[in-house]
């Protein structure tokens, strides 16, 4: 794994390299995605069926589009019972964590009769996209659906691509059932996003679409934003580890590789103030990589987006980490809690040598749907707030408006909006 001295120039080059992975840089696919969206919007089910036959080699009809209860029961039988129980435990941890995020409506009254408040209401229908095939991640099903259930979303539908045999990954189906999905549709790709955004004869329009996917799914979500809400336009996975001389190099190397194995575009970065640790980690990375099942993917990921950066001191290391704003950040320093106080930008922070990143992916409870490509500077993990609406409540008595109407009229007239001013003034004419 390459070792680089951290300077202003190397940091600038790395940031530019990482940003190349953003879906916003894949404009050559936008025309294809927009064409698919347009066809689904115009032709509904038939376009969905045609694209499923073209891309997934599966014949769909209105009769076999929805996953049946019998198929879900078959999925349970196909999985090891211990894995099913692990999913149930994970779902409960996710539920317990997200229940702490629930907001309440509030109303504030004043003696003059004015009432101001905020009403919290859940979305009526949410749509979750789940990849299929080799990229099937039941953990992501739980992370998307459970917060929506906690928020009180009235209906949750899920779309996921079928195999050539018309079947859906059994882990995906079991996770969806445990989490509480209402209906599952056998459709994937940009056509699934379009169907949820605009509705078809069989697939209802949703209010919000969440969930990961390939570049076509990401660009489709970007294209339909505004017609529906979306969680984010997610980029490839990434991890950044802040470590000092006290860190265990084997732990650091293993954790870097936990993200590098996702795909060739994944990013794994170590920033340390110890040249000795940097060398040891590089050796451990090579040793581990040769033993791992996804060695080819890992090597491409590390060649393209893997770095060990050696900083002058830990303050410089933290500054660089804040600029990169990684999806996952591990802090493996002598005092990780003290180091954390200096961190401003990260999707999720893992503190200490027994808090490796997969703990967050699968089991701890906090959401693993996180901001990528530097967007942790202004975006947050998926949570209950993503599935609610806030509505402002305003009620003034005559007494309250009498006190304020001159100020309101003055403000409106200053903007040239005399009808606004008159709307208030007429009540005291």
Q: Which residues are catalytic?
A: 327-328
CB atoms inside a 10 Å sphere around CB 9: 9
The Cα–Cα gap between 374 and 397 comes to 47
Half-sphere exposure of 376 toward its Cβ, with a 13 Å CA cutoff?
28
Distance (Å, rounded) from C-alpha 380 to C-alpha 349? 12
Per DSSP, 347 falls in state S
User: Strand 208-210 to strand 267-272: parallel, antiparallel, or no bridges (unpaired)?
Assistant: unpaired
Closest among 277, 279, 269, 271 to 246, alpha carbons compared: 277
- Give the integer Cα–Cα distance in Å for 227 and 387: 16
Tokens representing 1 are: 């794994």
Q: What is the DSSP string of 296-336?
A: HHHHHHHHHHEEEEE-SSHHHHHHHHHHH--SEEEEESSSH
């Amino acid at each position: 794994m390459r070792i680089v001295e951290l300077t202003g120039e190397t940091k600038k080059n790395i940031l530019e390299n990482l940003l190349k992975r953003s879906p916003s840089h894949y404009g050559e696919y936008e025309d294809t995605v927009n064409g698919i969206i347009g066809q689904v919007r115009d032709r509904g089910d038939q376009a969905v069926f045609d694209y499923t036959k073209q891309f997934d080699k599966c014949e769909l009809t209105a009769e076999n589009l929805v996953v049946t209860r019998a198929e879900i029961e078959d999925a349970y039988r196909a999985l090891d019972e211990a894995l099913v129980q692990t999913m149930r435990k994970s779902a409960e941890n996710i539920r317990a964590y997200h229940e702490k995020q629930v907001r309440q409506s509030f109303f504030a009254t004043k003696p003059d009769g004015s009432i101001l408040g905020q009403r919290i209401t859940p979305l009526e229908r949410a749509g979750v996209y789940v990849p299929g095939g080799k990229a099937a991640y039941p953990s992501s099903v739980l992370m998307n659906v459970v917060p929506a259930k906690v928020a009180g979303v009235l209906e949750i539908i899920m779309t996921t691509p079928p195999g050539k045999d018309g079947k859906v990954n059994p882990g995906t189906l079991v996770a969806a059932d445990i989490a509480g999905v209402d209906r599952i549709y056998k459709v994937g790709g940009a056509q699934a996003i379009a169907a949820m955004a605009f509705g078809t004869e069989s697939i209802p329009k949703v209010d919000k679409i969440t969930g990961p996917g390939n570049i076509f799914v990401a660009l489709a979500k970007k294209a339909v934003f505004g017609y529906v809400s979306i969680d984010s336009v997610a980029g490839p996975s990434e991890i950044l580890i802040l470590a000092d001389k006290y860190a265990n190099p084997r732990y650091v190397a293993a954790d870097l590789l936990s993200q590098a194995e996702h795909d060739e575009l994944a990013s794994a970065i170590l920033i340390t103030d110890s040249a000795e640790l940097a060398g040891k980690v590089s050796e451990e990375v090579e040793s581990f990589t040769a033993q791992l099942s996804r060695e080819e993917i890992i090597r491409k990921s590390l060649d393209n987006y893997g770095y060990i950066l050696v900083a002058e001191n830990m303050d410089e290391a933290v500054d660089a980490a804040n600029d990169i704003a990684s999806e996952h950040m591990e802090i493996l320093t002598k005092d990780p809690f003290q180091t954390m106080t200096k961190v401003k930008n990260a999707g999720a922070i893992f503190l200490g040598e027994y808090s490796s990143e997969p703990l967050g992916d699968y089991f701890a409870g906090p959401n693993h749907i996180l901001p990528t490509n530097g967007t942790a500077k202004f975006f947050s993990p998926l949570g209950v707030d993503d599935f609610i609406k806030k509505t402002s409540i305003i009620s003034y008595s005559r007494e309250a408006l009498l006190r304020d109407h001159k100020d309101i009229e003055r403000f409106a007239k200053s903007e040239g909006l005399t009808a606004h001013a008159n709307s208030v003034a007429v009540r005291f004419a």
